[in-house]
Structure 1
Amino acid sequence: MSKLRLLGTALRSNITDRTVRANPGLPLLLRDSPRRFSTESEQPPQDSAVNQFLHTPDTGSVYGKLFGATRHTLKTDIVKMLDGCKLTMDDLKFDYNRIFTPMGVVVQFPSRSAFDQAMRMITRKGRLYRLERADRSQWDSLMPYNGKTVLLQGLPRNATPYDVERFMTGCAHDAGIELFLRARAESPDPIKMALVRFSSQIEAMNAFIKKNRGFCLNNQILLRVIQ
């Protein structure tokens, strides 16, 4: 009898093993070893699309670009308009195109809260200006003229640095006058311009007052202080 019991037990064990392997739908507990359970909670995935601006700390410089400035806009006008944002004239750089028309003003704000305050102030004061976020690279790429450079427009095509020197007689400008030609969309002929630099904003403004609409080789010259 003992041999018959052993034979029956072996047959049942063999049938059960083949059934489990042949039927993948059976519970995993019959086929796989128990899995280990972790007591640690799973960390939710971080959203890579989160706006980095929201994580910008409230300390440190934040950059913006102000649109709406004209050829007659001064740095003092912008500082006054954004009064309360703790800006100085050194925190502004004008972005000019090739014929020195302002394309915008890059502003260095001392903090994100100052930038937010400027946004609110511009919204309240109408749509003459528009402020957008800017990168540090936009600030670094611009040359600061700081109101110490005067642009001469309308020079004759044959004008030389010596002619400009004579025109600027009586104005204590720095050495080196930059002459160049610039094309205009409204005219097929390029215009001749010159940049004359001064040691201070006062000297540049004095030159503008003395020489604006004066004549160089019979051409009337328009002067503009570059910000």
Structure 2
Amino acid sequence: MSCLASSMKTDIRTTGIDQQNIMTFAYVFCVTLMVTFGIISNVISIDTFRQTSIRSTTVGVYLLIYSCCSLFGLIMLVCRLFQLIDSLTYLPFFFICNVISGLASIFTRICLWLNRFTAFQRSLLSFEPNYIINKFRSRSIVLKQIFCIIILIFLMHIHELICRVTLSDPVAPGKFVCQIKYPNALLILNQIFSILHIFIPFFLHLLSTCLILTSISRRRALLHRTTYWKQWMKEFHTHSHLFVAPIIAM
């Protein structure tokens, strides 16, 4: 989101003055249109997942919280578009840069993690209940998981919120730019966190897919009287497309 807004702003300011208004309108219109569809989709999702029969399940809880976080993140994205207003003074620009942009980044990551944990919860539904499975599928445990995920993501972005700065635009006098300036130590920390934000959700998605294949293979191996690993490889070839999504997302 941060790169998108910065690229849009740079693109607009490097064009001719007569084209800037047209480009600004085009960017704002396209982003607003996409976000509007996203907001409508999330509102409908929230209305669906808030039903007692759905939110009583662990997957339903995850989907409800995910939809709420996604909705909030999209609203933050729309608010970031106010950066494109040339007449914006320092104080509102500072608020958008240091607060709105930071929250947009945080909730984007929260949604990424919640999405993968939702997939993990779905994979657990394919197994026969036992003590460990029931623990993971417990509604109280899931609520604690979600709370910990949100707190963890916020903590992993504190350094970003601190290092966000609003500077005078060197190209356009009287205007401002939003930058993140990390000292060397925090830059390394940020790189580590960025890797974790990629690989942990990737691993969870991969694990969820493998668990589903494991459950299917076990049942079909018993049904068709074949070996488990032979059936697993057969299911892997049949459902190999399920591994494409986490690889692309990575």
Q: TM-score, normalised on structure 1?
A: 0.26
Q: Of Structure 1 and Structure 2, which has the larger fraction of its residues in helix? A: 2
Q: Of Structure 1 and Structure 2, which has the larger fraction of its residues in strand? A: 1
Q: TM-score, normalised on structure 2?
A: 0.24
Q: Which has the larger radius of gyration?
A: 1
